[in-house]
Amino acid sequence: PAPPPPAPPSSLPATLPPTLLARLKHWCQIQPSKRALTFIDDKGKEVASLTYAETYARAQSIANGLLPPPPPASSSSFSRVKKPTLPLPLQKGDRVLLVFLPSLDFTIAFLACLMSGLIPVPVFPPDPRRLNKDLYMFTSIQVKLPSLPPSLPPSLPPSLD
């Protein structure tokens, strides 16, 4: 008979959380300052990195703006201020087209979609030589693409570029 598999190192729990987001949150709590993501360019040079805490915080910040806020718990009519909503409100389960070149921005956007219960659909930016074909492919995905609400920056901070 084969020998039993070796025990996991003591820093790893016997069972890890079952999903990518649960694992990200787990490692964010256990070792927030440890490097989680590193982007390496075509020449093999490290160009950007994020810790577990930075990764989680940036993805959560974007995720918070993707879906309309839940209705207020109280129904008091005195302090009812209508908050602006997205032009085409997204709902959990909607597909979101992620048009990115490989980058940490893509990874953060992907995680933000998962955190919001949205389905990320990654695609490369359109090729100018095949623009009609690429744009047809984009529209065939049938996603709702809102403009970002004013509370969110149009892109991630320059530290991710």
How far is it, in rounded angstroms, from Cα 2 to Cα 154? 56
How far is it, in rounded angstroms, from Cα 81 to Cα 74? 12
How far is it, in rounded angstroms, from Cα 53 to Cα 55? 5
Q: What is the pLDDT of residues 23-52, one digit of tens each?
A: 999 999 999 999 999 999 999 999 999 999
- C-beta separation of 108 from 157 below 8 A: no
Would you say the pTM of this structure is higher than 0.95? Answer: no
- H or E stretch including 134? helix 131-140
Report whether pLDDT(86) > 70. Answer: no
